[in-house]
Structure 1
Amino acid sequence: MKKIALAGLVAVALTTACNQTKTSENATAANGTTAADSTKGINGLFASFWERQSRLDPLSATAQGDNRYNHLLPNDQTQAFRDTLSTFYQDYLTRLGKFDRAKLDENDKISYDIFQYDLKQRVAGLKLNTWMIPFQQFWGLPISMGQYGSGQGNQPFKTVQDYDNWLGRVQGFTVWADSAIGNFRRGMKAGVVLPKALVVKMLPQMRAADMQVTDPTKSLFYGPINTFPKDFSDADKQRLTEAYKKAILTQVVPTYKKMGDFLANEYLPKSRATSGINAVPGGPEIYRYYVGYWTTTEKTPAEIHALGLREVARLRAEMERMKTELGFKGTLRQFFESLKTNPKAMPFKTAEEVLAGFRKIQATIDPNLKKMFGRTPKTPFEIRRTEAFREASASAEYNQGSPDGTRPGIFYVPLPKPAEYNVTQGMESLFLHEAIPGHHYQISLQQENTSLPKFRQFAGYGAMTEGWALYCESLGKELGLYKDPYQYIGALSDEMLRAVRLVVDTGLHTGQMTREQAIDYMLDNTPDNRENDTAAIERYMAIPGQALAYKIGQLKIQELRARYEKQLGSKFSLSNFHDELLKDGVMPLSVLETKMNAWAAKQK
C-alpha cells in the first residue's frame, strides 16, 4: 500500500477531516484572494484552488515538497474548519461550472472531469459523521507526527528554520489532541465509535517506549537533534537542543499520555463489539460513500462481493495446480501450513539479508524494465527497514519522494522477525507493487510532470493508484521473476489477498461477516498466519472500502490492455501503453477509460 504521506490521499483525508489544518490565517487564505486568482482561464482556477488547499492542508504540502507551511499544524477537528472546507469546495464547483467544457482542449477536459469528480466527492464526504472518529490504529495525526518528527520522514531538518518549524507543529498538536478527544466523546454519545478490537491496538501506539519518556533524549522526537547539520552554530545547537527537550517533556509526552489515558479509561469501555461500519448510525450510507470513493465506480457492495467470490475461485484453482506441481498430497490448507515451516521459503537470517534480497530483485528486473517503459522517474529510490516505533504493526509500504528529487521515494519493509520472513508472502510481487515499477514509477512520474495542474500532479485515486500497483505484480514473469515456484506461490498469494479483500471488506461492512468470520475466511484462502490475517482484517475494519481499490483497478487496467492488444494487433506497443497510462497521472477509472480509448483510436 502506498504510504499515506498524506499527499497521495488528500481527498479522503480532507473529506473525513483527518488531516491537520486550520488557523484564522488559513481561513482567511481559503476565503480571500491569492495571486493565483489573477491568472485567467481554467488553469488559473486550478492554480488558485491549489494555493488555498496547500494552506488548508500543510502536512500534505510538506509531503509534496512545498515547505512554505512547515510550521503550521492547524486544528481540523472543529465544525468551523469543516464549514470552511464545505464553502471552499462548493465555491470552486460553482466557478468550474462557468467554463464550457466542450470548448476546452483534450487535456483540459480531463482536468475538468477530474476536478468536478473530486470536489463532488469531498462535498459529499463532509456530510457524513466520520469526524467523530478522528483517528484509528492505521492512520491519523498521532501516527503521522511520529513519522514527520523523527527526522527520517517528510519534514525537512536541514536549516535552523526547519528545526523551529517543527516546534510550531508540536504546539499545534497539543490543541488538535484536545479537540480530537472532544470529537471522540461526541461519537461516544452518538454511537459512532470504533470497534473494541481496534481501540486495543491504539493503546500501545500512544504508550510506546519512545513516546512516553522521562529522558527526552530517548524520545523518537529527539532524532533531529542527534543529526544536526554540520554548519549549525554552537549557539543554535544549544538553543534548539533545550527547546526540543522542553517540547518533548511538556508538550509531546503529555499529549500522547492524555490520548492514551482517554482511550483506555473512557473510550475503550464505550467501543463497540460489532465489526463493520454498517453498525453505527448512518453506517450503510458511509460505506456506500467509501465504496464509491475508493473504487471510483458505481459498483455496489453486492456486485463487488460476487466479483470477489469469482476471483477467489479462479486463484484457488491455480494454487491447487502449483500444489500438485510441487508434489504435495494434502489439502490446500495443509499446503499453506507446510509453507510456513519450509526452509526453502525462509532463506534469510538477518534483516540485512532480507533487504539485500529486495535489492537483488531490483537488479533482476532492471534490464526488462527498459523494454516496458519509455519513461522512467528521475526521483531517487531507496529500500529501508521500517522504523522501530511502528514496525510491529506496520505493513510494507511506499513513501513518495519529493518532486524535486531531494527526498527519495522509499520502500519501507517491516522486519520484526527477519529469520521468519517467508518469500511465499510474496517478496517479488511485493517489490513490483510497492516499489518498482509500481508505486515508485506511477507516483514519481506523476509528481515530476510539471505540465499538469497541481491538483493532478499530486492526486491520489485508490483504484488507479493501487490498481496500477497490483497490475504491476502481474508483470512478474515478463520482468524475469517468478521463476522460483515459492516466489510464484507468493505472487498468487498476494493476488489472492486482493481477491479475498473484495469478499471480506464488503462482508464486514454490510454485516454479513464478523471480525472472526473474516479472519477465518482469509486463513482458508491465503497462506498467511492468524496474527497477520487478524491485523489485515482490523485494517479493513478501520478503513472501510480502501481494500477494494486494488482488485477493481487492476481488473480495469488488464481489461484495457487486452482490449487494445486485440484491437491494434501488431500496432500495439506495451511500452507506449504503459507510458500513456501513467503520463497524465491517476484519475477516476471512467475518466481513464475514456482517455485510453482515445489513445488507442490514434494508434490505428
Structure 2
Amino acid sequence: MIKKTLAIMCLAILFTACKNEKKTTEKPVDQIAVSDRFNQMLDNYYEEGLQLNPVQATFTGDSRFNDQFSNPLAEETVNKYKAYYKKYKEQVAQFEDSTLSDSEKMSKAILNWECDRNLEKFQFKKEYFPIDQMWSINLEVGQLASGSSAQPFKTVQDYNNWLKRLDGYVDWMTSAKAKMKEGMVAGYVLPKSLIVKVLPQLEALTVDDLDTHLFYTPVNNFPEDFSEEDKKQITEAYSKMMTEKIVPAYKGLHQFMSTEYMDAGRETSGIEGIPNGKEFYQYQIKLYTTTDMTAEQIHELGLSEVARISAEMEKVKEQVGYTGDLTSFFDHVRNKKELMPFTDPQQVIDNFNTIHDRMKPQIDKLFDKKPKTLFEVRRTEAFRENSASAEYNPGSLDGTRPGIFYTPIPDVKKYNVYSDESLFLHEAIPGHHYQISLTQESTELPKFRKTLWYSGYGEGWALYSESLGKELGLYTDPYQYFGTLGAEMHRAIRLVVDTGLHSKGWTREQAIQYSLDNEAESEAGIISEIERYMANPGQALSYKIGQLKIRELRTKAEKELGDTFDIRQFHNQVLETGCVPLALLENKINTWIASNK
C-alpha cells in the first residue's frame, strides 16, 4: 500500500512525452504555439495545486511552503478547490484534440478525469469523516512531527517553519471536531469499532511529559551546529506550542471522541449506513479502480478469484505434506513456530534487506531501467503501529530523501515471515519503489505528472510485481510461495468483503470470518484490515482490479508478439508514463503491440 493522502495526492497532473508515441522532428509554428500554451496551462495547474496543498509540496521536496498548512475543512479552502477544478476543466476544453499530440491528448483526458472526480466528490460530505484510524491528516502530521519524514529539521528556519505549520494544524483539529459534530446531526458518523481504534492514537499525544511526546522529538534531536542561544529559543517556543496548543487540542479531541462521538457511533459497518451511501460507494469504486465496474460485478469476480487461488493453495498444502483441510492449514501457517523466528525488531528489517540481496542478480532479466532514488526499510512509528499496514512512502522529487518501506512490528515474537518475500516485491522492489521513483526521475515527464497517483494502476502494478517472484529467484521455499498465494488471496478477498460490507449489508464480524476462512493472515491482522476497508470504502478493490488488467495485457502481448516479445520492453511501456487510468494504459499497450507486430 502506498500512503499518499489519497485525494490530496491527485492534485498534480499531466502532460507527457511517452517514448513509444510518434514524434515529428519539426512542428508547424502554430502547433508549437498550441503546445506551448497547453504545457503552460498544465504547469499552472501543478503550481496552483501546490499552493492549495502546501503539505503535499513538502512531500514532493518543494520547500517553499514548509511553514503553511491549508485547512481542507475550511469553507474558504473548499471554495478555492471548487474554483480551481472548474477553471482548469474550462481551460483544457479550449484545446481541440486535432491540435494536440498523442501524449497531449492523454494529458487532456487525465486532466478531465481529475477535474470531474474531484468536483463530484464534494456532493458526498466526506468532510464529516475527517478522522479515522488509518487515513486521516492527523496521522500524516504525526509522521512529519517525528522529524524522520518529509518535513526537514536541519536549520533554525526549518524549526520555525514547523511551528507556523502547527498553528494551521491546530485550526484543522478545531475544524475536525466541529465537522464531526455536524455529521452527528446529519447521520454521518464512524462505526463504533473504528472510533475505538482512533482513541489510543489520540491519547498517546495527550501526555504532559514533553520529553516523551512525539511532537517534541525535533527538540530532542537538534543538529550539532545549532548555537546554545538557538537551542534555548527553539526549546522555549516548542514548549509553549506544546503546552498551550498541541496537548490541549489532543486532550479536547480525545475527550470528545471518547464520549459524545462514541455514543453517536454507528452500529452498522458499511458505508450504506450513511445518507446517500450507495451512491457514495459507487463513486469510490470509480475513483479507486478507474473503471465503471459495479459492486455486484466486483463481488462476483472476487468469489471466482478466491476459488481459483484456493485450488493453488491446495497444491502447496500437499507439497509440504500437510494432511488436514485448507482452513486448518491456515492455522498451521499462522502458528508455525519456525515461521516466527525473530526476537528483535531489527531482525525483521534485516530479513527484508536479505531478500533484496537475493533477488538482485535476476533484476536485469526483467528490468533494464532502475531508479536512482535510494531506498530504506524502516519500522512503523510506535504511535500508529498497532493499526497500520505495511506501506511505502515515496522519496522526494529531487532524490535527496529516500523511498521508505514502513513495516509494523507490534510484537516481534509473533511476527510471521511467511509472506515477507511477496511483501517486499509489492511495497519495495520492483513494486512501489520502482514505479514511483522511475516516474519521479523521468526526464520526459514534467513535475505535475510525477506525483500523480491512481490506485488502480499503482496498487495494480505492486500486486503484479508480487507475481514476478519466481522469475526473480524467490519463492523457492514452499511457505514463501504460499505467502504470495496468500497475498493474492488477501486481495481477492478484498473484492468480496469490501463489496459485502458496503453494498450487501455485511457486518464487520461477517467480513472478519470470511477472511479467517479463506486466508492465513493472523486474526489481529485481519481485524485491522477489515476496519481499514470500513474507513475508506473502495480503496481495497484497486489492487486486484489493476493487477488483473496488467497481467491480461502482458498475456496478450506475449501471445501476439511471440518470439519478439521482450519482457523488459513491456515493463518499460507500463512504467514510463507514470500513473494513468487503466483504460488509457490498455490503449497504450494495444498501440505498442500493434506497432511491434
TM-score interval for Structure 1 and Structure 2 normalised by the shorter chain: over 0.9
- By how many angstroms is 1:341 displaced? 2.4
1:236-273 per-residue CA deviation (whole Å, 9 max, x = no partner) reads 11111111111111111111111111101211101110
Q: Does the aligned pair in 1 maintain the 2:270–2:505 contact within 8 Å?
A: no
Q: Check 1:555–1:540 CA distance in 2 against 1; reply closer, same or farther (3 A cut).
A: same
Q: Does the aligned pair in 2 maintain the 1:11–1:122 contact within 8 Å?
A: no
221, 236, 239: which is aligned to 1:245? 239
Q: Say if 2:395 is the partner of 1:405.
A: no
1:491-547 per-residue CA deviation (whole Å, 9 max, x = no partner) reads 111100000000000010013311110000000001122221111100000000000
Query: Aligned equivalents of 2:338 and 2:473: distance in 1?
Result: 20
Q: Does the aligned pair in 2 maintain the 1:508–1:514 contact within 8 Å?
A: yes
Residue number in structure 1 paired with 2:39: 43
Query: Aligned equivalents of 1:198 and 1:207: distance in 2?
Result: 15
Q: Does the aligned pair in 2 maintain the 1:379–1:403 contact within 8 Å?
A: no
Residue number in structure 2 paired with 1:153: 149
Query: Aligned equivalents of 2:379 and 2:124: distance in 1?
Result: 37
176, 182, 190: which is aligned to 1:186? 182
585, 590, 595: which is aligned to 1:597? 590
1:366-396 per-residue CA deviation (whole Å, 9 max, x = no partner) reads 1111111111111100111111222222111
Aligned residues: 576
- Name the amino acid aligned to 1:394: A
- Name the amino acid aligned to 1:10: I
478, 487, 502: which is aligned to 2:480? 487
Q: Say if 2:559 is the partner of 1:561.
A: no
What SS class does the counterpart of residue 401 from structure 2 fall into?
coil
Q: Does the aligned pair in 2 maintain the 1:307–1:502 contact within 8 Å?
A: yes
Q: After the TM superposition, which of the residue ranges 488-497 and 71-80 deviates more from structure 2?
A: 71-80
Q: Check 1:259–1:13 CA distance in 2 against 1; reply closer, same or farther (3 A cut).
A: farther
Q: Does the aligned pair in 2 maintain the 1:225–1:241 contact within 8 Å?
A: yes
Residue number in structure 2 paired with 1:35: none
Query: Aligned equivalents of 1:123 and 1:592: distance in 2?
Result: 24
1:60-97 per-residue CA deviation (whole Å, 9 max, x = no partner) reads 11101111111111222123322221111011000000
Query: Aligned equivalents of 1:225 and 1:603: distance in 2?
Result: 59
Q: After the TM superposition, which of the residue ranges 339-348 and 517-526 deviates more from structure 2?
A: 339-348
Q: Does the aligned pair in 2 maintain the 1:288–1:301 contact within 8 Å?
A: yes
What SS class does the counterpart of residue 419 from structure 1 fall into?
helix
Residue number in structure 2 paired with 1:341: 335
1:442-482 per-residue CA deviation (whole Å, 9 max, x = no partner) reads 01111112432333211000000000000000000000000
Residue number in structure 1 paired with 2:224: 230
Residue number in structure 2 paired with 1:24: none
300, 307, 322: which is aligned to 1:313? 307
What SS class does the counterpart of residue 69 from structure 1 fall into?
coil
Q: After the TM superposition, which of the residue ranges 445-454 and 327-336 deviates more from structure 2?
A: 445-454
Q: Which has the higher contact order (CA 8 A, sep 6+)?
A: 2
Q: Does the aligned pair in 2 maintain the 1:384–1:412 contact within 8 Å?
A: yes
- Name the amino acid aligned to 1:313: A
Query: Aligned equivalents of 2:573 and 2:36: distance in 1?
Result: 29
Q: Say if 2:89 is the partner of 1:93.
A: yes
70, 74, 82: which is aligned to 2:70? 74
Query: Aligned equivalents of 2:364 and 2:175: distance in 1?
Result: 51
Query: Aligned equivalents of 1:89 and 1:532: distance in 2?
Result: 39
- Name the amino acid aligned to 1:131: E
Q: Does the aligned pair in 1 maintain the 2:486–2:520 contact within 8 Å?
A: yes
- By how many angstroms is 1:333 displaced? 1.1
What SS class does the counterpart of residue 512 from structure 1 fall into?
coil
Q: Does the aligned pair in 2 maintain the 1:398–1:439 contact within 8 Å?
A: yes
Q: Check 1:360–1:318 CA distance in 2 against 1; reply closer, same or farther (3 A cut).
A: same
- Name the amino acid aligned to 2:214: L
What SS class does the counterpart of residue 68 from structure 1 fall into?
coil
Residue number in structure 1 paired with 2:197: 201
Q: Say if 2:53 is the partner of 1:57.
A: yes
Query: Aligned equivalents of 2:212 and 2:339: distance in 1?
Result: 37
- By how many angstroms is 1:365 displaced? 1.0
What SS class does the counterpart of residue 126 from structure 1 fall into?
helix
What SS class does the counterpart of residue 383 from structure 1 fall into?
strand
Q: Does the aligned pair in 2 maintain the 1:54–1:61 contact within 8 Å?
A: yes
- Name the amino acid aligned to 1:244: Y
Query: Aligned equivalents of 2:195 and 2:591: distance in 1?
Result: 48
Query: Aligned equivalents of 2:206 and 2:155: distance in 1?
Result: 27
Q: Say if 2:381 is the partner of 1:387.
A: yes
What SS class does the counterpart of residue 95 from structure 1 fall into?
helix
Query: Aligned equivalents of 1:467 and 1:369: distance in 2?
Result: 20
Query: Aligned equivalents of 1:409 and 1:368: distance in 2?
Result: 22
- Name the amino acid aligned to 2:376: E
Query: Aligned equivalents of 1:215 and 1:428: distance in 2?
Result: 40
5+ long unaligned stretches in structure 2:
13-33
Query: Aligned equivalents of 1:596 and 1:39: distance in 2?
Result: 25
What SS class does the counterpart of residue 224 from structure 2 fall into?
coil
Matches within 5 A, 1:329-478: 329-424=323-418, 426-478=419-471
Q: After the TM superposition, which of the residue ranges 385-394 and 407-416 deviates more from structure 2?
A: 385-394
Q: Say if 2:323 is the partner of 1:323.
A: no
109, 114, 127: which is aligned to 1:113? 109
- By how many angstroms is 1:131 displaced? 1.2
Matches within 5 A, 1:538-549: 538-549=531-542
Q: Does the aligned pair in 2 maintain the 1:429–1:476 contact within 8 Å?
A: yes
Residue number in structure 2 paired with 1:34: none
Query: Aligned equivalents of 1:423 and 1:520: distance in 2?
Result: 23
Residue number in structure 2 paired with 1:274: 268
Matches within 5 A, 1:11-30: none
- By how many angstroms is 1:308 displaced? 0.2
- By how many angstroms is 1:423 displaced? 2.1
Query: Aligned equivalents of 1:507 and 1:164: distance in 2?
Result: 48
Q: Say if 2:76 is the partner of 1:83.
A: no
Query: Aligned equivalents of 1:81 and 1:212: distance in 2?
Result: 28
Residue number in structure 2 paired with 1:164: 160
Query: Aligned equivalents of 2:51 and 2:251: distance in 1?
Result: 29
- By how many angstroms is 1:12 displaced? 6.4
Q: Check 1:314–1:39 CA distance in 2 against 1; reply closer, same or farther (3 A cut).
A: closer
Query: Aligned equivalents of 1:221 and 1:275: distance in 2?
Result: 33
Residue number in structure 2 paired with 1:289: 283
Matches within 5 A, 1:125-140: 125-140=121-136
Residue number in structure 2 paired with 1:10: 8
- Name the amino acid aligned to 1:56: L
- By how many angstroms is 1:11 displaced? 5.2
Query: Aligned equivalents of 1:202 and 1:13: distance in 2?
Result: 27
Q: Does the aligned pair in 2 maintain the 1:46–1:453 contact within 8 Å?
A: no
Query: Aligned equivalents of 1:400 and 1:188: distance in 2?
Result: 36
Residue number in structure 2 paired with 1:219: 213
- Report the identity percentage: 48
Question: Where do 4+ consecutive residues of structure 1 move more than 6 Å?
Answer: none
What SS class does the counterpart of residue 127 from structure 1 fall into?
helix
Residue number in structure 2 paired with 1:581: 574
- By how many angstroms is 1:344 displaced? 2.7
Q: After the TM superposition, which of the residue ranges 194-203 and 325-334 deviates more from structure 2?
A: 325-334
- By how many angstroms is 1:317 displaced? 0.6
Q: Does the aligned pair in 1 maintain the 2:222–2:231 contact within 8 Å?
A: yes
Query: Aligned equivalents of 1:321 and 1:75: distance in 2?
Result: 53
Query: Aligned equivalents of 1:285 and 1:451: distance in 2?
Result: 38
